[in-house]
Amino acid sequence: MTRPLAKPTRRADAQHNVERILEAAVSCLSRDPHASVSAIAQTAGVGRVTLYGHFPSRDVLVEAALTRVLVEGEELLAGLDLTGDPRDALRVLIRSTWLLIAQSSAVLEAAQASLPPGRVHELHAEPARRVDQLIRRGQDEGVFRADLPASWLTSVLHHIMKGAAVDVANGQVDRTDAPRLISETVLAAYRVDG
Amino acid sequence: MTRPLAKPTRRADAQHNVERILEAAVSCLSRDPHASVSAIAQTAGVGRVTLYGHFPSRDVLVEAALTRVLVEGEELLAGLDLTGDPRDALRVLIRSTWLLIAQSSAVLEAAQASLPPGRVHELHAEPARRVDQLIRRGQDEGVFRADLPASWLTSVLHHIMKGAAVDVANGQVDRTDAPRLISETVLAAYRVDG
């Protein structure tokens, strides 16, 4: 009875370990871009040997973790309706993606230390383009200020989301309050007529 | 002729090395909270032995670097006239201290990993109080929004200053533009009537 199941089960176990390792890598690297392979293995609850069986080096693991958050972010972003009033679209974007974008930019930082810049840029281009496009559309339609460059407004959004994630991790901000705090702050900062 | 000068010169050299090491520590730790003693020695242009002669451990060096930026920040803040319209005061504060505050918060992050929390808090209390006080006064006088907590508004200021320092380091923002970008953004984010 166990024989026909043995192989799929082992495969399922391996898949389960890969999932746990990647989740642990994203969580560790977003808290500390220098997190070690041992720390990631420990968080995942697997041994170092198991981890190295799936990811032969730290660089390979960091790239896999980055790919994971960016693909997840891109899927989330692609599923959002960002047409309509750019202010409403920005609220939707922040509510749905702030934590993932905050994690991505922290993992991105970790990756910048170990991956070739071209690869990092390539992985990051599509989700970054969606956010940038929304901000530029808001400027073109006159609802977001145009006296500051779009690149800075994008930067501000990232700094505030990432900072809020740190505040949540430190217990200074309640996780459920974060999206509202971020939206209220960013929309005010973007408003026309300073 | 050299004999009477020998001792003061050696002392002056030592003082000069301490200054260079502390400057290097602040600059390295604010870019990377995990910067090694070797990296700091290299940036300072001194050998590891010289560095360890002045700072017997990495923890001692990190504490000295933190004390340096915080004392420098406190002196700068104490010398500013922060009375008058809180918006003007905030502009003055940002223009004079943004880079130092951005560096402090990065060195603070490095210190949090190695110093006892009580010591970090103690060193940081005075400059933090001045910023907090200005923001609360702005809320009390009705020129800064009170629909978001003062602690969050303070956090936003720090996140944006720190983020701008990273953007400057990456070459995305020109150093001379940074104070204006920060002020315009923070003052808009703080404005009453969202």
Nearest CA to CA, how far is B1 from chain A (Å)? Answer: 52
Q: In 3D, which of A54, A66, A82, A78 has the Cα closest to residue A29?
A: A66
Determine the pLDDT at residue B8: 61
A148 conformational bin, left if phi > 0, alpha if psi -120 to 50, beta if neither: beta
Determine the pLDDT at residue A2: 46
Measured between beta carbons, which residues in chain A are less than 8 angstroms from residue B194?
A: 184, 187-188, 191
Asked whether residue B18 carries a pLDDT value surpassing 50, the answer given is: yes
Nearest Cα residue in chain B from A181: B148
d(CA A180, CA A177): 6
Contact of B86 with B141, CB cutoff 8 Å: yes
Asked whether residue A1 carries a pLDDT value surpassing 50, the answer given is: no
Determine the pLDDT at residue B1: 45
Determine the pLDDT at residue A47: 95
- Which residues does A contribute to its contact with B (CB < 8 Å)? 34, 145, 147-148, 151-152, 155-156, 158-160, 162-164, 167, 172-173, 181, 184-191, 194
Determine the pLDDT at residue A8: 61
Measured between beta carbons, which residues in chain A are less than 8 angstroms from residue B191?
A: 188, 191, 194
d(CA B111, CA B117): 9
Asked whether residue A71 carries a pLDDT value surpassing 60, the answer given is: yes
Could you tell me the domains of chain A?
59-190 (1.10.357.10)
Measured between beta carbons, which residues in chain A are less than 8 angstroms from residue B185?
A: 148, 152, 156, 189
Measured between beta carbons, which residues in chain B are less than 8 angstroms from residue A151?
A: 172
Q: How many CA atoms lie within 13 A of B137 on its CB side?
A: 15
Asked whether residue A5 carries a pLDDT value surpassing 60, the answer given is: no
Mutate to test the interface with B, among A105, A147, A159, A162 (most CBs of B within 10 A): A159
ipTM: 0.83
Q: What is the mean predicted confidence (pLDDT) over A81-94?
A: 95
Highest mean pLDDT among A101-115, B19-33, B63-77, B175-189: B175-189
Q: What backbone phi and psi angles, to 5 degrees, belong to A144? A: -110, 140
d(CA A93, CA A70): 15
Q: Cβ–Cβ of B188/A185 closer than 8 Å?
A: no
pLDDT digits (tens, 9 = 90+) for B50-107: 999 999 999 999 999 999 998 888 888 889 999 999 999 999 999 999 988 888 888 8
d(CA A63, CA A47): 20
Q: What is the mean predicted confidence (pLDDT) over B1-19?
A: 71
pLDDT digits (tens, 9 = 90+) for B34-65: 899 999 999 999 999 999 999 999 999 999 99
Q: Cβ–Cβ of A185/B181 closer than 8 Å?
A: no
> Which of A144-148, A170-174, B123-127 is least confident?
B123-127
